Homo-oligomer: A and B are copies of this chain.
Amino acid sequence: MKLTTEQIAQFDREGYLFFPSLFSAAEMKPLLDEVPQLYAQHRPENVREKGSDAVRTNFAAHLYSYPFAKLARHPRMVEPVVALFGEPVYMHQFKINGKMAFDGDVWQWHQDYGTWKNDDLMPEPRAMNVAIFLDEVNEFNGPLMFIPGSHKLGVISAEHDLTTTSYPLWTINHDTIARLVERGGIVAPKGPAGSLIMFHSCLVHASASNLSPWNRINVYLSLCAVSNHIRRFKRPEYIAHRDFAPIECLPDDCLLKHYDVPLPWKDGTPEEALKPLVAA
Contact = CB atoms under 8 A, between A and B. Distances in A.
A177 B213 contact: yes
A206 B209 CA distance: 12
Contacts of A206: 211
Interface stretch (A102-110, A153-161, A255-263): A102-110
Contacts of A181: 212-213
The number of chain A residues touching the other chain, given as a range, is 20 to 34
A188 B102 contact: no
A245 interface: no
Contacts of A212: 181, 186
A83 interface: no
Contact of A213 (B139, B140, B142, B174): B174
B101 A174 contact: yes
Contacts of A178: 101, 213
A216 to B, nearest CB: 12
Given A106-B211, A140-B186, A181-B213, 19 more contacts: A101-B174, A101-B178, A102-B174, A102-B177, A106-B209, A139-B139, A139-B188, A140-B145, A140-B188, A142-B208, A145-B211, A174-B213, A177-B213, A178-B213, A181-B212, A186-B212, A208-B208, A208-B211, A209-B209
Interface of A: 101-102, 106, 108-109, 139-140, 142, 145, 174, 177-178, 181-182, 186, 188, 206-209, 211-213
